[in-house]
């Protein structure tokens, strides 16, 4: 016995993330050929009931803030800024809503 899933790739499905066939109307209207990704698991496979959040990750995460802070800042005229740029942006978020 296997488990079959059709996952939406057109982002128009009413049952997202599962495909509901909405890509057919999109393809007709925009002359495209997007369709679902079809996945099938065999009950005997180790991954059948395993969540990706519990599985061992294939890629290493990086500390983005450390990586970004090591980059040289470039100002609007293209010259390097040694990171001493001060922003006039206020941290007051009270006017956002």
Percent of the chain with pLDDT over 70: 41
Mean pLDDT of 65-71: 50
Contacts of 71 (CB under 8 A, 6+ apart): none
Higher pLDDT, 46 or 33: 33
Integer Cα distance of 22 and 92 in angstroms: 43
- Report the mean per-residue pLDDT for the chain: 68
Cβ atoms 13, 19 nearer than 8 A: yes
pLDDT tens readout for residues 72-96: 555 444 555 444 444 444 455 454 4
Higher pLDDT, 35 or 78: 35
Domain 1-44 has CATH 3.40.5.90: yes
């Amino acid at each position: 016995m296997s488990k079959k899933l059709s996952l939406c790739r057109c982002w128009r499905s009413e049952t997202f993330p599962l495909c509901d066939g909405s890509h057919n109307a999109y393809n007709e209207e925009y002359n495209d050929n997007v369709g679902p990704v079809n996945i099938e698991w065999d009950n005997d496979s180790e991954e059948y009931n395993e969540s990706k959040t519990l599985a061992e990750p294939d890629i290493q995460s990086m500390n983005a803030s450390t990586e970004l802070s090591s980059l040289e800042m470039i100002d609007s005229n293209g010259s390097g800024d040694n990171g001493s740029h001060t922003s006039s942006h206020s941290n007051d978020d009270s006017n956002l809503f």
